Amino acid sequence: MKKPVSVLVVLHTPDLRVLLLERAAHPGYWQSVTGSQEGEEALAHTAVREVEEETGIVVRADNLIDWRLINRYEIFPQWRHRYAPDVTENVEHVFSLNLPDAVPITPAPEEHLGYRWLDWRKAARTVFSWSNRDAILILPRLIHRI
């Protein structure tokens, strides 16, 4: 059973191109890197692991920015079978990773059909998740504070 605690990692470039991945199980559903915490691993470790598993990009936890932003949302019915029967809500922790350029990646074929690097505005319009959209819309303000 999956733990209802996850990370959302927005990978982007300095000029705010954002990496999106298309879900293999749901073609047409685009998202940033996401994934559930395993056991008692630190959330930053979850983010590092998910970035590597989903893109092939190897990073260290200190390369990530922890936004200290937490989203709570209802788990879509089509994905509830992965969780304990009484679990209906997920707690998502948001991170970002600034890459020097829109690098080619190696999507995990069992999870993703392909990827795109899009301007942040178009990326925000493309993702299916409101929490992913909101994170991308916050990105320009966050980057200018760093």
Query: Looking at the 3D structure of the chain, how many domains does it have?
Result: 1
Domain assignment of residue 62, given as a range:
5-145
What is the residue-level pLDDT of the chain in tens, covering all 146 positions? Answer: 899 999 999 999 999 999 999 999 889 999 999 999 999 999 999 999 999 999 999 999 999 999 999 999 999 888 899 999 999 999 999 999 999 999 999 999 999 999 999 999 999 999 999 999 999 999 999 877 64
Structure tokens at 143: 């980057």
Predicted TM-score (pTM) of the model is: 0.94
Alpha-carbon distances, residue 99 vs 17, 40, 143 (angstroms): 10, 28, 12
- Pairing mode of beta strands 89-98, 64-74: antiparallel
CATH of residue 9: 3.90.79.10
